[in-house]
Amino acid sequence: MRILRVAALAAGGLLLMGQVVPAQAHGGSSYRWELTPTGTTAQFRGLAAVSKDVAWVGGSAGTVLRTVDGGKHWQNVSPPGAEALQFRDVEAFDARRAVALTIGTGEDSRVYRTADGGKTWTETFRNTDANAFYDCIAFNDDKHGLALSDPVDGKFRIAATSDGGKSWKVQPTAGMPAALAGEFAFAASGTCLVAGHGRTAWFASGGGERPRVFRTVDGGRRWTVTDSPMASGAAAGIFSLAFRNTLFGVAVGGDFEKPTEAVKAASVTYDGGRTWKLVPADKAPKGYRSGSHFVPWSPATVVAVGPSGSDVSFDGGRSWKQFYDGSFDSVECAGHGANAGCWASGAKGAVGRLVH
């Protein structure tokens, strides 16, 4: 399953590197993506937005890029010796400090850290369990973060850091509910695991008989879990979570083998993930979506992306309108006021900045 999952999620997209394609408007939305040439054909599923000017992306062939001028120029800051690895998640605190995750079984799952804008990197974690497969990382602040692995011995595994990613410790699993048969997380956009206020975090699953959402309020020591009404299966489940605060969140996903079909592809929560309400098919995103994020400039506006298009919801995920028909895998927003910005990344070196 892991081999199938990695191969399927690494499949190419529709955008051409460096091609500035006008967004296709739908439903009167003024949102559009402004593509920024990256000079590479890597697939970028790892994405970290810092502001409208600063962003990091990580992808295939060990590639990590950084921009500090709104995408006008991208600097190749790839860690040396990582050419055979796939970066699937990047978390950045500013233009100089970032933590990046590579995925895969055994020692292919690693964490790298830089404090000088990518000039130098330090490998701070290497998985040594042949049965573990790390999918996502997330930080509550610039010190406390978690990394999520698929189940080992029947339970999802968590590694935690309290020093900004300089060191990691695999957590005991006594407080983790048992996994379902076939259950795993999707290393599709870096948002299968998200962190909130304090020590709160959530992660989502698929692959089993039903998708689920796990929640912690103590930094990953103890977790509760709830079922989701969304689709699940060998290639289906929840691919991305986004939370505005500790109560208000959305989940998107579907079936990545059916990218143009909205198969129970979205749900919303108003109680911190304890319960979820399915978005009806006629109001859901117009296909499988792998990434999602709330925008900084509106309390109830959230954007979702996938290989068959991008959608926006102005009512907190209850209804969606497609505004772009090109391919992206990941989306992230950050910053405040005039410095706020949203970025998306995907196949063939595609990176876009949201214009609204």
> Looking at residue 3, what is its pLDDT?
33
Res 339 pLDDT > 50: yes
CA 92/CA 100 separation, integer angstroms: 8
Alpha-carbon gap, residue 243 to 339, rounded angstroms: 21
Task: Provide the pLDDT for residue 113.
Answer: 98
Which of 15, 103, 8, 113 lies closest to 56, judged by CA? 113
Encode pLDDT of 208-231 as tens digits. 999 999 999 999 999 999 999 999
pLDDT of residue 29: 66
Q: Can you spell out the DSSP letters for 240-267?
A: EEEESSSS-EEEEEEETTSTT--SS-EE
- Rounded mean pLDDT of 30-35? 96
